Amino acid sequence: MKGPVKIKELLPSERIRSFEEVALGYSEEGAQEEAKRCLQCKEPKCIQGCPVGIDIKKFIFEITQRDYKSAYLTIREKNNFPAICGRVCPAEYQCRKFCILNRNKDKPFASPEAINIHFLERFIGDWGIKNYQNLTFKIQNSKFKEKVAIVGSGPAGLCCAGELARQGVKVVVFEALHQLGGVLRYGIPPFRLPRPILDFEINYLKSMGVEFITNFIVGKTKPLSELEKDFSAIFLGLGAGTPSFLGIKGENLGNIYLANEFLTRINLMSAFKFPQFHTPINIGEKVVVIGGGNTAMDAARSSLRVQLGQGLKPDTTVIYRRTEVEMPARRLEIEHAKEEGVNFEFLVQPVEFIGDERGFVKKIRALKCKLGKPDSSGRRKPFPIEGSEFEIEADVVIIAIGLKANRVLTSATPQIQLDKSGDILVNPETMETSLKKVYAGGDIVGGEGTVISAMATAKKASQSILNLLSL
């Protein structure tokens, strides 16, 4: 049996000189070879690993037949954004983990032998973008007169908009920022998700008649109750927009960023092009990123690029309380970060930030950790070792330890019911909130997740909205 087919990638030394995409994907022959590795299981398990239930077996078979159009349509039947998900899905924790070829039985993620389903999806997604002109999707002649409002233009909002627009429903999307895409725009760097891909998907929705209104904060610019008058249904895709803190001394010192701020300055405001772009960002000679998820990887890899762009020697270190196996980041991002020169220090827990006389961070006081038994997340819990204290030099620190619910709309809308962590409570069958005809999906329901899981809940909500409108 042939081994997994690698994708083309930019060389690490080239990568860190720009924010260009790192993973270049499969050539046609590469995709053919990889698709042929699929055993076409009689009872494929991979599909149950996909939050939106793409018929993976079918689209891979269609690739082997070089029937890319069918493969594209097969994916799009379940997933509106194959070119995006093919790039950002943590496939090794999802579909690939269920692949019969996966040899990692004791790890939370798949081994390299599992079929590279995400790369194949991306190949097809990109094929669709190139051949978009020749593909016509039937947009139902509108039998609906009602309008639906979508709050937030991130993965959940875009997905819900697409699902409804396909059925001929008039959709208006409200976005707080001046650009569309939510976390896909401000959070995920272009070296993972090139902006033309995102723009393509948004323009595609526009061509289906979806209306977008930027610079509009529901709950501030207009209360939700006003929207309830103007729209037959509302979908809330507010996202997990509030950063978490470590809760240790010195966290507000200068040059301690939350990853959201660091990435927003770079991705949304193009601060790496300062002063041509006017938003500044401070980078240092020694940058330390705290956390082990995708956001931490994005921040660390962005940091290297900004360091180099400002004529500094790249020196960025990720510190994480557990070890590499427990890191929740995609394996590919960890590999890419290592190849690019990001340093990793595992089993380290910061306990205090120490500043200089001007109020900027200069050191982190930290403890070494050891791993105990698995906790509720199934990962082994870290314990700080007494007396193991040491110091890490750092002139810029980026905290990437997770996000909580965005509070802007919910605090302005006291009648909507929330859970303890501030997420919106929904009926899991319909995604309807405690307010009638108001639905929610994505990270504002159940907390921080992935792009694809946000899409899954958004799709469920869109189905409920369609049912509601069809009554």
Partner 1 sequence: MKILDKKVLAEREPRIVYLEVLAEEICKAFKPGQFVILMVSEVGERIPLTIVDKNLKNQSISLIFQEVGLTTKLLGRLNKGDGLYSLVGPLGNPAEIKNYGRVILVGGGVGIAEIFPLARAFKEEGNHLTTILGARNKDLLILEEDLRKMSDEFYITTDDGSYGRKGFTTDVLKELLESSESQGDRYKLIYAVGPIPMMKKVSEITQRFKIKTLVSLNALMVDGTGMCGCCRVSVGGEIKFCCVDGPEFEAHLIDWTELSLRNKIYEDKEKHICKLYKLVT
> What residues line the site for partner 1 (CB under 8 A)?
176-178, 186, 214-217, 220-222, 241-243, 245, 251-255, 257-258, 260-261, 264-265, 268-270, 274-280, 282, 358-360, 406-408, 411
Pairing of strands 233-236, 211-213: unpaired
Q: Is 122 or 265 the residue whose CB approaches partner 1 more closely?
A: 265
Please say which residue, 267 or 464, places its beta carbon nearer to partner 1: 267
**Nearer CB in complex with partner 1: 259/319:** 259
Pairwise CA distance, residues 331 & 139, whole Å: 38
Give 240 or 364: the residue with its C-beta nearer to partner 1: 240
Query: CA-CA distances (angstroms) from residue 313 to 131, 257, 284, 287, 364?
Result: 42, 20, 10, 11, 21
Listing DSSP states for 167-232 in one string gives: TT-EEEEE-SSSSSSTHHHHTS-TTTS-HHHHHHHHHHHHHTT-EEE-S--BTTTB-HHHHHHH-S
Torsion angle of alpha carbons 334, 340, 345, 350, nearest 10°? -90
Phi/psi for 112 (5° steps) reads -60, -20
Query: Residue 123 half-sphere exposure, CB side, CA atoms within 13 Å?
Result: 29
Residues found in the chain: 471
User: How far, in Å, CA of 282 to CA of 272, rounded?
Assistant: 10
The least distance separating partner 1 from the CB of residue 359, rounded to whole angstroms, comes to 3
Q: Which is nearer to partner 1, 74 or 179 (CB)?
A: 179
Q: Give the up-direction half-sphere exposure of residue 409: CA atoms within 13 A in the CB hemisphere.
A: 32
CB of residue 80 to partner 1, shortest distance in Å: 24
Of residues 48 and 214, the one with the C-beta less far from partner 1? 214
Indicate the residue among 205 and 281 with the shorter CB distance to partner 1: 281
Q: How far is the CB of 397 from partner 1 (least distance, A)?
A: 13
Task: Report the nearest approach of partner 1 to the CB of residue 264 (Å).
Answer: 5
Please answer whether residues 31 and 123 qualify as being in contact, where contact means their C-beta atoms are separated by less than 8 angstroms: yes
H/E element, 257: strand 256-258
Taking the complex as a whole, the smallest distance from the CB of residue 373 to partner 1 amounts, in Å, to 32
Q: How far is the CB of 259 from partner 1 (least distance, A)?
A: 9
For partner 1, give the closer residue by CB, 247 or 378.
247
Which CB atom, from 95 or from 263, has the smaller least distance to partner 1?
263
Kindly state the smallest distance separating residue 304's Cβ from partner 1, in Å: 20
Task: Kindly give the pairing relationship between strand 233-236 and strand 147-151.
Answer: parallel
In whole angstroms, the minimum distance from the beta carbon of 19 to partner 1 comes to: 16
Helix (H, G, I), strand (E, B) or coil at 68: helix
| Distance of closest approach, residue 212 Cβ to partner 1, in angstroms | 14
- Report the chain's C-alpha Rg in angstroms: 22
